[in-house]
Structure 1
């Protein structure tokens, strides 16, 4: 190590179709400007190629996770997620990531952060032993439940398995993520924080209907056709990210939705006043002739199109499909509305979400929207520890930091 750098213990992990730097909370500064500065420098932000840090130039690889043993009776660990911008000098630490959440359980087990007694988990693969890990997500203040495959002898997590997910080569051990308890995490007003199944906003002189949903994450759903996109199924992530006019329309949708929620005063300042939240998702009917997909989706985050599909967005989309009159329900293929698995077509494949509402399979406007329940709201991901050690930053970034 050189004389003018400090080393911070870290683990690089893939969770689902994303990667993040994982830290124990004790190894990074407390919440505040110093923590933000340290995490941005670790990732090499701001820089479009993040050449001097751990970021990989994509929104799916510019992420951090901070974990600690929980003091709560109902949780094993606390988990804070950070989406680090790439070209902009910013980080959002008040959101959630379903893909990265799949890595939290294995990290907590292998780092010895769980102090509560062992609980046998559920499994999607007969004969596979799993451990239940209860995760308190600090941004949405809700409990996520991970069922992590483990080795019976060592008790450590397993990464090897036969389960495949879109956007990730090969196979891995299936981690069942239970998101039933994530309703109303941002506004505590149930799944529909505005009180309406759809809201009307005006963008660029046009009237557009949206559904704003608060399940797993705060999301604004809009028909792709209302934004002038009639071929969503053929649009790859880079195609959308390079379409600056389309991204500006998406940003206006996000800004107007944030205004409705009281999260920004001026929609044009949404990136400064409400970074990343609410997200915008363009939806359309599933591709013609597609045997699996129930809807086509493209997720816009930090004014870029997500390469595949976020676990939280997929969860929110599946939940939205169970609300009569919602934008998702209006455009989804009929097969997904009756099945207990909702399959979302994204740029790199299909992500299935298990979903079953507690009331007749779906909600309607006549049912109390403040206290809905799910029998099932879950998805399966894989995870793998890639590297462990220390990540180094210049010592002036964190004076008196860890050596």
Structure 2
């Protein structure tokens, strides 16, 4: 057994295990092998590991202080397989970035201010730069707070998460193909799709293309996942994220449906009126309906809505101040677009919550003969 120190932190609606880079290196085992063993990725239930057997609870981040100007913390985000011995490093996770910001404050990786401490982060997977602003009254790191987010009734420390210049974070262009709308082949013929890269590459389809209206429950939306998965492969090829014979990452591109607001009920049965949000969205995560929305997907949507002609722009309600209220299965999540200097894409802000759940020493079974 290998021994590995880690912290479990809830960031938004995800749970993320966070490890110090130096602790990972000290095990002498390559990080993929270490995470596969720690999470028990081979088992769909992850019953002999720390994974939670869902896309939102099978996540990790490896963190270290940064020597790069303007950056405090570098982190690598890992989406660990569930019943699949694979670790994907192709994407970023905003909820885990929320957790990383709280981790950095508690571990003293940034100087703590008397009022609010801002952690400047670099996601090494994608090169994305983010900020996490955390209240630190009296220069102390908080353990609890009263902030809530749709998707959980639990409260946590408020974190204002900012995605800086998110457009083209993976492909180099907000519109990887150069078009606001592309036509891809779906299971029953051509389908219009907007391919956007901001926060993460995403393929967005109008709900009506699949006979949906955007108010579907998770169970109802699940019926569309196989068709969206097929479309997702075409999107990956069109965006240059994979070659014809390559396997497509489970993590990117994101794929989902958008539509005009209509009344719907959340997973908890709460009625959301048509005028309470601006854009209906249902997203797929790791081949399953996302219970809310990944934050990188929210950034992609906020960016798409700001680009005239995209499918998201066509169906979203216009707002004058850059605020976009997304109607997700968990409830309404708000993203705010903040203008940036010319030549830089707008910053996207999201209000999140985080809480430390555990500090632990993991006992990790690792096969022999797997060097670093």
Instruction: Specify if TM > 0.5.
Output: yes
- Note if contact 2:7-2:18 (Cα within 8 Å) is conserved in structure 1: yes
1:81 to 77, 101, 104: 77
- Matches of 2:276 and 2:36 in 1, distance apart? 39
SS in 2 for 1:182: coil
Distance 1:398 1:99, change over 3 A: farther
> Residue 280 in 1 paired to residue 255 in 2?
yes
> Residue 137 in 1 paired to residue 123 in 2?
yes
Residue in 2 aligned with 1:256?
234
SS in 2 for 1:329: helix
Counterparts of residues 220-231 of structure 1 (less than 5 Å): 220-228=203-211, 230-231=212-213
Residue in 2 aligned with 1:59?
55
- Matches of 1:353 and 1:380 in 2, distance apart? 8
- Note if contact 1:38-1:397 (Cα within 8 Å) is conserved in structure 2: no
Residue in 2 aligned with 1:90?
86
1:152 to 123, 138, 146: 138
Shift of 1:235: 2.0
Residue in 2 aligned with 1:362?
none
Shift of 1:239: 4.1
Shift of 1:145: 0.9
SS in 1 for 2:41: coil
TM-score with structure 2 setting the length: 0.90
> Residue 232 in 1 paired to residue 214 in 2?
yes
**Deviation string, structure 1 residues 197-243 (Cα, Å, up to 9, x no partner):** 11111222421111111111111111122123x2431322x4434x3
- Matches of 1:227 and 1:29 in 2, distance apart? 47
TM-score with structure 1 setting the length: 0.83
Residue in 1 aligned with 2:268?
none
- Matches of 1:196 and 1:81 in 2, distance apart? 30
> Residue 387 in 1 paired to residue 358 in 2?
yes
Shift of 1:356: 4.0
- Note if contact 1:21-1:64 (Cα within 8 Å) is conserved in structure 2: yes
> Residue 203 in 1 paired to residue 192 in 2?
no
CA RMSD of aligned residues (A): 2.4
Shift of 1:400: 8.0
Residue in 2 aligned with 1:99?
95
- Matches of 1:240 and 1:47 in 2, distance apart? 25
1:378 to 323, 345, 349: 349
> Residue 167 in 1 paired to residue 151 in 2?
yes
2:177 to 194, 201, 205: 194
Shift of 1:36: 1.1
**Tell me, which stretches of 5 or more residues in structure 1 are unaligned?**
121-128, 360-367
- Matches of 2:321 and 2:191 in 1, distance apart? 29
> Residue 355 in 1 paired to residue 337 in 2?
yes
- Matches of 2:62 and 2:108 in 1, distance apart? 15
- Matches of 2:102 and 2:351 in 1, distance apart? 14
Residue in 1 aligned with 2:267?
none
**Deviation string, structure 1 residues 249-276 (Cα, Å, up to 9, x no partner):** 111211111111222233xx66x24342
Residue in 2 aligned with 1:308?
292
Matched residue count: 362
Shift of 1:317: 0.8
1:185 to 169, 178, 186: 169
- Note if contact 1:251-1:303 (Cα within 8 Å) is conserved in structure 2: yes
Shift of 1:395: 4.4
